[in-house]
Amino acid sequence: MSGAIILAMRLLLAFALYGFLGWALWTLWRDIQKQGAALANRRIPGIHLTIRHGQNTPFQKKFNQPEITLGRDPGCDIPLTDDTVSTRHAQLTYHHNQWWLEDLSSTNGTLLNQITITMPTVLTAGDEIQCGDTRLIINLSTNTLVSPTQRLEKRT
């Protein structure tokens, strides 16, 4: 008799152990889902670039992604046919609600408003970037970040 009661408790014990693990993994999975949904809802303000190389006609490009690379490599988001530009020259990234400019160890360096940058630098509208002989004028969209309203969590 004692054996049967204890057997039931041993099974309950296994249930408790896997209850802990199951609950942990379930909340983890839910966390990932929520995070994914939050990221999917994140809007990135568009960025307009006016690109001019030497005497060529300037052209405009608009982007809605958080990372923009520019360089001579055709795989770059802004491919440049300029011999003074490195293969992967510089990168524009959006984080902390800002657009940042970062030099990717290019040969001739990246200039922002005539000043060589050594670290990621925040961009504002009207800034001028110079990579080799190419110049880019920044024009930021006016629409700001809009994310869906979330229900307040009860803090216990």
Partner 1 sequence: MHDKTQSLLLRWAAFFLFIQSTILTLSPAVRERTWDVDYRFAHWAGLLVWAVLMTAAHRATIKYLPERDPYLLPSAALLSGWGMLTIWRLDEEFGIRQSIWLGVCIIIFILALYAQQKIILFLRRYKYILLSGGLLITALTLLFGTNPLGIGPRLWLGCCGVYFQPSEPLKLLLVIYLSAYLADHVNIHLSSLPLLVPTLVVTGLALLLLLVQHDLGTASIFVSIFTIAIFLYTGKRRVLLSAALFLISTLIIGYFWVAIIHIRVDGWINPWADPSGKSYQIVQSLLAVANGGIIGRGIGIGSPLLVPVAISDFIFAAIAEEAGLIGTLGLLTLIWLILARGLTASLRAPDRFRRNLAAGIVTYLGSQSILIIGGNLRLLPLTGVTLPFVSYGGSSLLTSFAALFLLLSISNVEDNEPAPIENSTPYALLAGILSTGLMALALTSAWWAIVRAPDLLNRTDNPRRSIIDRYVPRGELLDRNNQPINITEGESGNYERAYLYPDLASVTGYTHIVYGQAGAEAALDDYLRGLQGNPPSLVWLDHLLYGTPPPGLDVRLSLSLALQSKADQLLGGHTGAIILINAETGEILVMASHPTYDPNRLSEEGAALAQNQSAPLMNRATQGLYPIGTTMLPLIRAKFGESQPTDAELNLYYQKLGLFQEPALNLPVAYDTTNKTVEKLKVSPLQLALAAALLSHDGIIPAPRFATAVNTPEQGWVVLSTKGKPIEILPPEMANTAAQSFIKPGKSYWNHVGQASLEDNITTWLLAGTLPDWKGAPLGLVVTLEENNTFLANYIGDTLLNAALNQ
Q: Which residues bind partner 1 (CB under 8 A)?
A: 2-7, 9-14, 16-21, 23-24, 27-28, 95-96, 153, 155-156
C-alpha distance from residue 41 to each of 83, 102, 141, 152, 154 (Å): 40, 26, 18, 17, 22
Asked if 91 contacts 76 with a C-beta cutoff of 8 angstroms, the reply is no
Residue 96 Cβ vs partner 1, minimum distance, rounded to whole Å: 6
Cβ–Cβ contacts within 10 Å for residue 73, how many? Answer: 14
Helices (H) and strands (E) in the chain, counts: 1, 11
Residue 5 Cβ vs partner 1, minimum distance, rounded to whole Å: 7
Which residue, 10 or 62, has its beta carbon nearer to partner 1? Answer: 10
End-to-end CA distance of the chain: 43
As a whole number of angstroms, the distance between CA 156 and CA 34 comes to 20
Residue 18 Cβ vs partner 1, minimum distance, rounded to whole Å: 6
Residue 134 Cβ vs partner 1, minimum distance, rounded to whole Å: 26
Which residue, 144 or 156, has its beta carbon nearer to partner 1? Answer: 156
Which residue, 98 or 107, has its beta carbon nearer to partner 1? Answer: 98
Which residue, 67 or 125, has its beta carbon nearer to partner 1? Answer: 67
